[in-house]
Structure 1
Amino acid sequence: MRVMLTGATGFLGGHLLAQLRAQAVEITALVRSIEAGDRLRASGVDPVIGSIEDPASLREALAEPADAVFHVAADTSQWRGHIDRQTRTNVEGTRNVIEAAEAAGVRRLVHVSSVSAFGQQEEILTEASPRLGKDSWINYERTKAIAEERVLEADAAGRIEAVVLNPAHILGPGDTHNWARMFLLIDQGKLPGAPPGSGAFADVREVAAAALAAWRRPAHGEQFLLGGAHASFLELIQAIATELGRSAPAKPMPASFLRGYARVLDAISRVTGREPGLTPQAVSFTCHDLRVDSSKAVLELGYRTTPLPTLVHDTCEWLREQGMLLPR
């Protein structure tokens, strides 16, 4: 079996790549740099230098027959200054992946979207929830919603057999840029406070396993929500602080303060052209209460939820092994 993988050098993509290799699947990985390609080649992966924004590189990556495409690459920026770049990556890039897979005769596409495609809703999300992300003021939500819509339209038209995964907040070993920043700030005593929202925290290893299960499953044209342990951000921060032996806030910051502070930073960034440390979009996410029902994925993909203390412990241990945490 051979598959093509986008986003192979990312957090989730790296775990998916490792699980594919453990099952003796041959992999062609689309990567942006020669250095990344060299690292993957050394591990037995066939790299192609390019981008999902470049149809020619996608054609090259699919020149050898593939049984499936795993589309994991995405732009997760929460800053308005990256709107054009993000739209090219998430929307146009996904369209390019669909067209390249169709032209190469690849029947199966596993598309990793996000719960953000549903927008921010008050009710517990299920696969039957309305897709509100397309009308969101947050470009990440909007572009993820449009991209998955194009994937499902291609499936409905018989152009490709697609499965869409919608993971929630992803934690776990291997993270260096996403939620890992919170771990490092807590470790360094620099976290200014806890936001008032809550989230569903998915184990990256289980999300990768669900992607493999979705590939092997005959049915297509479906979506699967991949949630996880539900906790407030305050509870997450306190769990991290306990694991690290650091102090943590006793209560969350007011949402009104965070929103006002983010608007000030946003105004400054419009003058400087520099990305601020906190954006109105990011504040909107962390002030929202996200609840996700993963029962369909549990039943049909064998998806599993990792308890939050275990997930935090494993992440801290990995960060410590990488030398990214301060000495105990």
Structure 2
Amino acid sequence: MRVLVTGSSGFVGNRLLNVLANKKNVEVFAAARGESIDGPATVRLLKNFELSSAVDWTPNLIGFDVVVHAAARVHVMNDQALNPLEAFRAVNVKGTLKLAEQAASAGVRRFVFISSIKVNGESTTKDDAYSPDAVPAPLDPYGVSKMEAESGLKAIAQRTGMEVVIIRPVLVYGPGVKANFLKMMQWLDKGFPLPFGAIRNSRSLVALDNLVDLIILCMEHPAAANQTFMVSDGEDLSTTELLRRMACALDKPARLLPVPEWILRLGASLFGKSDLLQRLCGSLRVDISKTRDVLGWKPLVSVDSALKEAAIHFQESRKQ
């Protein structure tokens, strides 16, 4: 099987390359914006790849069985673009759909698209969960762009016969994780007392290895064709429980103060941090029963083992 991975320098794409490189009967190519990649020597390179509607990659795509499309303009805080929605659309919609059209023209059998839970929305209640068949309700430009890309890909699949598989990950964590997850590890590692000891929300997360395992399954499984799947670790956690288990993985004490949530929300509002607090205190759950039932998939690694791997990488990186 001949596979092309876009977004090969990213958090998910790079891990996928490393796992695929160790599989028999898989010839792996990485689409990279530059002249080289940080990856296994056995991975071949498609240089100077640009996700743009102006570039024709059709000749380069001939002979591939599967394209895993992980490249995107990613969600960022405090976006400085004059028109964020159009900036996201240029890459995530127009660039993605142009690549998919070219892949179909080149005879690619299956196109696996790494979308986002933001297509569904930003939060659920503690007892509800997003399903892949729920009506999309994105609330920010990134989520809108991913929803529009999904819709366009389904139309291409219907028109061309190329199989499309859509995966909507929740927050992905693992070795090398950045953003708020990294900040939480840094807080715990330094022993800071944190006012998050009484948060009773419920959030789905997905370990990097669990996501990569599902992507690889979706590359080949016959029942995955033209389906949309949710993915998580299958164990939802409150922020308080996550911090406790993260501290355990770091071999550090969890100094969590049981500050009532209403006080946290008041303080966040006063200091303009309501969005950050929503991510810490709000619930966001996904239902992975379709993924389990249709594909026979189950998470490859547990939450605690994935947290331990992330903690070891974090501690080793500080020594360098």
For the aligned pair, the TM-score class normalised by the smaller chain equals 0.7 to 0.9
Unaligned runs of 5+ in 1: 264-279
Aligned to 1:69: 67
1:301 and 2:303 matched: no
Aligned to 2:142: 140
In the TM superposition, residue 110 of structure 1 has moved relative to its aligned partner by: 0.5
Which of 274, 285, 291 is the equivalent residue of 1:291? Answer: 285
Q: Which amino acid aligns with 2:112?
A: V
Q: Which amino acid aligns with 2:247?
A: A
Equivalent position SS for 1:324: helix
In the TM superposition, residue 204 of structure 1 has moved relative to its aligned partner by: 1.1
In the TM superposition, residue 283 of structure 1 has moved relative to its aligned partner by: 4.8
Q: Distance in 2 between matches of 1:116 and 1:205?
A: 21
Query: Deviations 1:178-227 (Å, cap 9, x if unpaired)?
Result: 63343234324568654955421112111111111111112311111102
In the TM superposition, residue 22 of structure 1 has moved relative to its aligned partner by: 1.6
Which of 229, 240, 264 is the equivalent residue of 1:234? Answer: 240
Q: Which amino acid aligns with 1:233?
A: T
Alignment of 1:2-21 (within 5 A): 2-21=2-21
In the TM superposition, residue 114 of structure 1 has moved relative to its aligned partner by: 1.5
Query: Deviations 1:85-114 (Å, cap 9, x if unpaired)?
Result: 333222222222212212322121011111
Equivalent position SS for 1:292: coil
Q: Which amino acid aligns with 2:12?
A: L
**Alpha-carbon spacing, 1:41–1:206, altered in 2? closer, same or farther (3 Å):** closer
Question: Which region of structure 1 is more displaced relative to structure 2, 189-198 or 169-178?
Answer: 189-198
Q: Distance in 2 between matches of 1:61 and 1:282?
A: 42
Q: How many pairs does the alignment contain?
A: 303
Q: Distance in 2 between matches of 1:256 and 1:51?
A: 45
Query: Deviations 1:254-298 (Å, cap 9, x if unpaired)?
Result: 2343344336xxxxxxxxxxxxxxxx6555444431111112212
Alignment of 1:83-102 (within 5 A): 83=84, 84-102=86-104
Q: Distance in 1 between matches of 2:56 and 2:255?
A: 47
**Alpha-carbon spacing, 1:126–1:8, altered in 2? closer, same or farther (3 Å):** same
Question: Which region of structure 1 is more displaced relative to structure 2, 41-50 or 205-214?
Answer: 41-50
In the TM superposition, residue 43 of structure 1 has moved relative to its aligned partner by: 4.4
Counterpart contact for 2:5–2:70, Cα < 8 Å: yes
Counterpart contact for 1:16–1:208, Cα < 8 Å: yes
Seq. identity, % = 23
Q: Distance in 2 between matches of 1:256 and 1:319?
A: 32
Q: Structure 1-normalised TM-score?
A: 0.81
In the TM superposition, residue 41 of structure 1 has moved relative to its aligned partner by: 7.2
Which of 297, 308, 315 is the equivalent residue of 2:310? Answer: 315
Q: Distance in 2 between matches of 1:218 and 1:85?
A: 35
Q: Distance in 2 between matches of 1:4 and 1:286?
A: 36
Aligned to 1:166: 168
CA-based RMSD of the aligned residues comes to 2.8
Q: Distance in 2 between matches of 1:106 and 1:69?
A: 7
- Which runs of at least 4 in structure 1 moved beyond 6 Å after TM superposition? none
Q: Distance in 1 between matches of 2:141 and 2:269?
A: 17
1:28 and 2:35 matched: no
Equivalent position SS for 1:290: coil
**Alpha-carbon spacing, 1:87–1:230, altered in 2? closer, same or farther (3 Å):** same
In the TM superposition, residue 308 of structure 1 has moved relative to its aligned partner by: 2.6
Query: Deviations 1:230-272 (Å, cap 9, x if unpaired)?
Result: 1122221222223321443323652343344336xxxxxxxxx
Aligned to 1:266: none
